[in-house]
Amino acid sequence: MNNLKNKKAIITGGGRGLGKATAIAFAKEGIDVAITGRKESTLQKTVEELKELGVKATYTVFDVGNYENVKTNIKRIIEDLGGVDILVNNAGIAGIGSFLDMSVENWEAIIRINLMGMYYVTKEVLPYLVEQKEGDIINISSTAGLNGNPDISAYCASKFGVIGMSESLMKEVRKYNIRVNTLTPSTIETEMTLELEMMEKGSKNVLQPQDFAELIIAGLKLPRRAMLKGASLWSTNP
């Protein structure tokens, strides 16, 4: 079982929801954590909670969908953190609307943040992992990336793309002892899903962010050799 203490992780969209739960779970394992997001007050509050758990924690405010911002800020956050061993690509948005009714601007924004943003961040973090010949990249997709559904065509397209990109990357970088895993949760009770009225707060049989974070920790603790040779797709339906 891998010892995670003193590892260094970057979590995009780490200020709330699944990202925050993962950051807290990491801190409890002794992992130093850097989180990113677009709302500074939320990031500050989360970093304070992480520091109370006895780890180094930092944050940077930027939009993962803007490559120039990503290039500048990923370099800065790795310098602040003192390196990087784990990347969790969690930042994402969703939107509901029929194929004809959703605006082109909204459709493009979902693809830009969910898919291109993940590509941008990974592209900037990956050279550090290749240089040290070890690392973990965890990409958050969705069951919406496995089957299309009405009124979420942009979201489905972005999450299908995440799976394809992740599986291709996995085959490229495992020679460097880098694991790339894609998680495909069904609906998780987060601020985003509640805001989109996809569920009611406290709904039964719905994944909680803390439960999902525990799954990520369990995966990181698996023997590296087994995971490098195994499948990259984890399905986490309740």
Q: Is residue 12 part of a domain?
A: yes
- Is a pLDDT exceeding 80 seen at residue 231? no
Q: How many domains does the chain have?
A: 1
Query: What is the average per-residue pLDDT within 79-92?
Result: 96
Q: Is residue 34 one of the residues assigned to a domain?
A: yes
Closest to 196 in 3D by CA, of 97, 65, 63: 97
Q: What is the domain-level CATH number for residue 168?
A: 3.40.50.720
Identify whether 43 is part of a domain: yes
The mean of the pLDDT values for the chain is 88
Let me know if residue 2 belongs to a domain.
no
Mean pLDDT, residues 77-106: 96
Least confident of 33-37, 124-128, 179-183, 232-236: 232-236
The answer to whether position 184 is within a domain reads: yes
What's the confidence (pLDDT) of residue 238?
29
**Of the ranges 26-35, 120-129, 167-176, 200-209, which one carries the lowest mean pLDDT score?**
200-209
In a domain, 3, yes or no: no
Contact criterion met (CB below 8 Å) for 31 and 23: no
Whether residue 115 is contained in a domain is answered as: yes
Tell me, what's the pLDDT at 211? 85
The one-character DSSP state at 145 is: G
Rounded CA separation 118/163 (Å)? 11
Kindly report the pTM of this predicted structure: 0.89
Q: Is 1 within a domain?
A: no
Taking residues 139-154, what's their average pLDDT? 92
Identify whether 120 is a catalytic site residue: no
* Whole-number Å distance between alpha carbons of 44 and 57: 10
Give the pLDDT band (50/70/90) at residue 129: very high
**Among 45, 42, 142, which residue's Cα sits nearest to residue 93?**
142
The length of the chain, given as a count of residues: 238
Residue of 59, 120, 155, 176 marked catalytic: 155
* Count of C-beta atoms within a 10 Å radius of residue 111: 17
Nearest-angstrom CA–CA distance, 228 and 196: 37
Could you give the percent of the chain with pLDDT greater than 90?
Answer: 74
Question: What is the extent of the structural domain holding 24?
Answer: 8-236
